[in-house]
Amino acid sequence: MSTQPPSSGTTGKGRWVGQPLRRREESRLVRGHGLFVDDYKLAGMVHLQFVRSPYAHARITHVDTSAAAASPGVLCVLTGEQVAARVNPFIEIGPGCDGKIVDLPMAVGKVRYQGEPVVAIVAETAADAADAADLVEVDYEPLEPVIDGEAAATSKSLLHEPLGSNVNWHSQFEYGEVDAAFRDAAYVVHIPRLHFHRFSSTPLETNVVIATWNLKEDTIHFLSTNSFPAFAVQFLSPALGVRIDQLHMESWDIGGGFGIKITSYPQMAVCALASKQLGGRPVKWVETRTEHMLASAHGNERTFLDTRVALDKNGVITAIDSRHIDDCGAYPRYEPLGCIIWAQVLPACYRFRNFRVDFSQVVTNKCPVGPNRGYSRMQHLWFIERCLDICGHELGIPTDEMRLRNYIRPDEFPYTTPNGCVYDSGNYPKMLELAKRLVNWDEWKKNQQIARAEGRWLGIGIGTTLDSGTNNFGQARIVNAHAPYSGQSKAAIVKLDIYGEVVVFMGSVPQGQGHETVAAQVVAEVLNIPPEMIAVKPGFDSLQNVYTGHTGTYASQFAVTGLSAIHGAAEKLRAELERLAAFALKAERAQLEFGAGKMGPEVRVRGTEKSINYWALANLVNVNNAELPQSMEDITLNCRYLYKAPFTVPDVEKKYGNLTLTYASQLHIAVIEVDRETFQPKILAYAAVDDCGTQINPRIVAGQMHGATAHGIGAAIMETCEYSPEGNMLTATFSDYTPITAVNMPELLCGDIESPSPFSYNGAKGMGEGGAAPVHTVCAALQDALFSTGVLIRDSFHTGDRIFEAVRRAESGADRGVRVERRG
């Protein structure tokens, strides 16, 4: 298949592309007619409930399920051991983990995190299953929990004994002349410890599965919320001992995902086994919110140790040297991919060329992580932002000036980073200027002077971040040279059905991103007909949709990969229609034009009355087809196009290569006051500027940006997956986790610029993850507010009580956690 974008590409704005069209999805969703997995009731369907571990780390000494099995309505009970006897452990992506980490759908022998499933009960009704679950007795012998990621590496208590330690992955990354840069530095800033906390985007719909093992055909049908089925099947098929083509994956509406629903395959496997045991009855499992908080997936926690930053006399960063420990929870699952994915944005938005990091990932007795929105890049971007922001404050350089001195310059794009990634386009100074204007920077600077004179803590912070999109799966080989992945692709079909309907089949698995609407816009542009005349199949169905091994919605890419495939397929269909019309109308192809007439979509001869509509064109191929010349026999009106992103496999030894295709950027400014009585941070103004290249539907782009901003603000000041030293999750309900609500969410001052990507046919960049801009921004504003108190912002999470502690610590004269070495 061609890797070239189709030639007659529609760049920039068009009649439909680039317009803020109302989404077609709204029409069913505002009526309550969405079709979510929990809404399905299949004939003979039964209900599964898990009994979960109350301990973070314990040996299972005894399981008694007899009372549960005898409880009314109960159909079958499965213990971890019974499940283990029927499956193979899930594959591990990590190189050294094979056989050393045994990841099964349920706990066997011991539990490794609070909430790990121990027993599964299937009953006629959900209430019967819940009643029976109460009757299961499990005895545990507690083991020493490993909760702190930093201590995990040296802990004697091991999660997976055969691994020999709790270190799951470790490697060095080094680029440029690090030692020379430190030798020549005017300043070296030492930051012993920075910490990025655990949180999760917690989609409002939890994970849901309905599995049906059809014993006659030996196929397994999954209706599920899984948002990356092409990935899930690679885990499910070997585990269940079936071929991938025996798995039928389906979804319709999905109630948000944000990456958290990628790793739901263990529960899918248990439901499938239960269905098989029950002769093929559909088995439904609906995760409760508490189960979701305890045991679905969290974002990665990361600690940055012994950081040294080299700067020249102007405050320009020349090198960073550091040690990073990523904490992936009890089982790696999608990991250790996060150990390389951060490298997509290695220098963040800055020009430094010398970089060294010792990167390791550890397992701990906490919920396994999953690729949460901004996955692995946001932790790293936050780290670089903190380094830059702290250095600026320590050296007394104004915060905006510090950024301008360090930004990659607009004329340097496409910019090759020290590790070979190519930033496609951007203009960070222009974004800064716009954000300052939106937030009213000069006014707030004056207010800040007044506030400070009154002894108030008011800070203004800037956060600059990247949303790298369209990932090259070849980077998986840097964490495991044998990983059988590379590149990136998407496929789509645009077809003309027998009565002239234009129908689009995509491979994406949307969860609210409006793919149906945008797909119709793109096809409408190619065929020059209104989007309402185009049907787009919602949801995903592996028997019907068209897909590749990379199919799914993740890694900010639909606007590039998904639309390239759809556009390519629409162009192919257009070419077929043109050939048919030229024949039918006895005209030259060059004389034809596309549009909508009285009889629906049509092709006409320019400047004449002669036209033929789509129904008649379809008829020529499908019904009345004896007249069609032989030269047109290849025409099927069913056009599939496979878009393959232009990647090569990175150099595994040097850890060098282009890891992503596009780089959307976000620049936020927050004004925050910390109340001197309550220490609560209050956002007084918030500006958010976005650049995702050419926007295909500005309404959807704005919505994505709002959502990502709310996740970031929530993460910075409200949301944390907190564990006690014993491994009890302290925020295991929404009431404790407190997802941000309308009461806490400021009204945003939004703006955008468009730096078209030279690497996508339409100039668009993938977007939607947002790079956790608010986490960087809120931290920068708090730093600005509290710098005079001696507080150094070293953590990503800030509630009133955390700020109180930090101020107290600073007042008691404790080590500030930073040291500046001035040379010469």
Binding site for ligand FES (CB under 6 A): 204, 256, 512
Structural contact between residues 362 and 152, judged by C-beta atoms closer than 8 angstroms: yes
Q: Residue 516 and residue 537: Cα distance in Å, rounded? A: 7
Helix (H) or strand (E) holding 706, with range, is: helix 698-717
Structural contact between residues 424 and 414, judged by C-beta atoms closer than 8 angstroms: yes
- Ramachandran category for residue 700: left, alpha or beta (phi over 0 → left; psi -120 to 50 → alpha): alpha
Contact stretch for other proteins (CB under 8 A) within 148-156, 411-419, 742-750, 754-762: 742-750
Cβ partners under 8 Å of residue 785, min gap 6: 457, 458, 459, 672, 673, 674
743 interacts with, out of ligand FES, other proteins, none, CB within 5 to 8 A per kind: other proteins
Q: Nearest approach, Cβ of 43 to other proteins (angstroms)?
A: 14
Q: Residue 812 and residue 111: Cα distance in Å, rounded? A: 41
Q: Nearest approach, Cβ of 466 to ligand FES (angstroms)?
A: 25
Nearest to 793, CA basis, from 327, 342, 393, 306 = 393
Interface residues for other proteins in 190-229 (CB under 8 A)?
201-206
Q: Applying CB under 8 A, which of residues 31, 62, 156, 216 lies at the interface with other proteins?
A: 31
Q: Residue 183 and residue 319: Cα distance in Å, rounded? A: 10
256 or 507: whose CB is closer to ligand FES?
A: 256
Q: Nearest approach, Cβ of 742 to other proteins (angstroms)?
A: 5
Q: Nearest approach, Cβ of 54 to other proteins (angstroms)?
A: 17
Work out whether 748 is an interface residue with other proteins (CB under 8 A).
Answer: yes
Contact stretch for other proteins (CB under 8 A) within 348-356, 411-419, 448-456, 728-736: 728-736
440 interacts with, out of ligand FES, other proteins, none, CB within 5 to 8 A per kind: none
- In degrees, rounded to 5, the angle at the alpha carbon of residue 352 between the alpha carbons of residues 346 and 353 is 80
202 interacts with, out of ligand FES, other proteins, none, CB within 5 to 8 A per kind: other proteins
25 interacts with, out of ligand FES, other proteins, none, CB within 5 to 8 A per kind: other proteins
95 interacts with, out of ligand FES, other proteins, none, CB within 5 to 8 A per kind: none
Q: Nearest approach, Cβ of 355 to ligand FES (angstroms)?
A: 38
Residues in the interface with other proteins (CB under 8 A) total: 60
Residue 681 pairs with which residues in a beta bridge?
A: 674
In Å, what is the CA distance from 299 to each residue of 188, 259, 261, 368, 375? Answer: 32, 9, 12, 9, 7
Interface residues for other proteins in 280-299 (CB under 8 A)?
288-290
Backbone angles phi and psi of 150, in degrees to 5 = -65, -40
Q: Nearest approach, Cβ of 297 to ligand FES (angstroms)?
A: 18
Per-position x/- string for 41-70, each x denoting binding to other proteins as judged by CB under 8 A, each - no binding: x-----------------------------
Q: Nearest approach, Cβ of 744 to other proteins (angstroms)?
A: 9
176 or 255: whose CB is closer to ligand FES?
A: 255
Nearest to 788, CA basis, from 760, 767, 824, 816 = 816
Query: For the stretch 211-233, what's the b/e string if a residue is b when 16 or more beta carbons lie within 10 angstroms of its beta carbon?
Result: bbbeeeeebbbbbbbbbbbbbbb
3-class DSSP assignment, residue 462: strand
The residue of the chain with the least Cβ separation from ligand FES equals: 204
Q: Nearest approach, Cβ of 312 to ligand FES (angstroms)?
A: 47
Q: Nearest approach, Cβ of 709 to other proteins (angstroms)?
A: 5
Work out whether 409 is an interface residue with other proteins (CB under 8 A).
Answer: no
Work out whether 513 is an interface residue with other proteins (CB under 8 A).
Answer: yes
693 or 707: whose CB is closer to other proteins?
A: 707
3-class DSSP assignment, residue 596: strand
Structural contact between residues 613 and 600, judged by C-beta atoms closer than 8 angstroms: yes
Per-position x/- string for 683-712, each x denoting binding to other proteins as judged by CB under 8 A, each - no binding: ----------------xx-xxxxxxxxxx-
Q: Residue 793 and residue 748: Cα distance in Å, rounded? A: 24
Burial class (CB in 10 A: 0-12, 13-18, 19+), 144: middle
Q: Residue 349 and residue 347: Cα distance in Å, rounded? A: 6
Work out whether 23 is an interface residue with other proteins (CB under 8 A).
Answer: yes
| Cα pseudo-dihedral 547, 549, 554, 557, rounded to 10 | -70
Work out whether 38 is an interface residue with other proteins (CB under 8 A).
Answer: yes
711 or 794: whose CB is closer to other proteins?
A: 711
Q: Residue 792 and residue 784: Cα distance in Å, rounded? A: 10
702 interacts with, out of other proteins, ligand FES, none, CB within 5 to 8 A per kind: other proteins
Structural contact between residues 564 and 5, judged by C-beta atoms closer than 8 angstroms: yes
Q: Nearest approach, Cβ of 174 to ligand FES (angstroms)?
A: 42
Interface residues for other proteins in 225-254 (CB under 8 A)?
253-254
Give 785-806 as a DSSP string: HHGGGT----BS---HHHHHHH
106 interacts with, out of ligand FES, other proteins, none, CB within 5 to 8 A per kind: none
Q: Applying CB under 8 A, which of residues 739, 756, 790, 817 lies at the interface with other proteins?
A: 739
Structural contact between residues 88 and 241, judged by C-beta atoms closer than 8 angstroms: yes
Q: Which residue has the tokens 């496979």?
A: 642
344 interacts with, out of other proteins, ligand FES, none, CB within 5 to 8 A per kind: none
Work out whether 127 is an interface residue with other proteins (CB under 8 A).
Answer: yes
Residues forming contacts to other proteins in the complex (CB under 8 A) are 22-23, 25-34, 36, 38-39, 41, 127, 131, 201-206, 253-256, 258, 288-290, 511-514, 699-700, 702-711, 733-735, 738-739, 741-743, 745, 747-748, 750
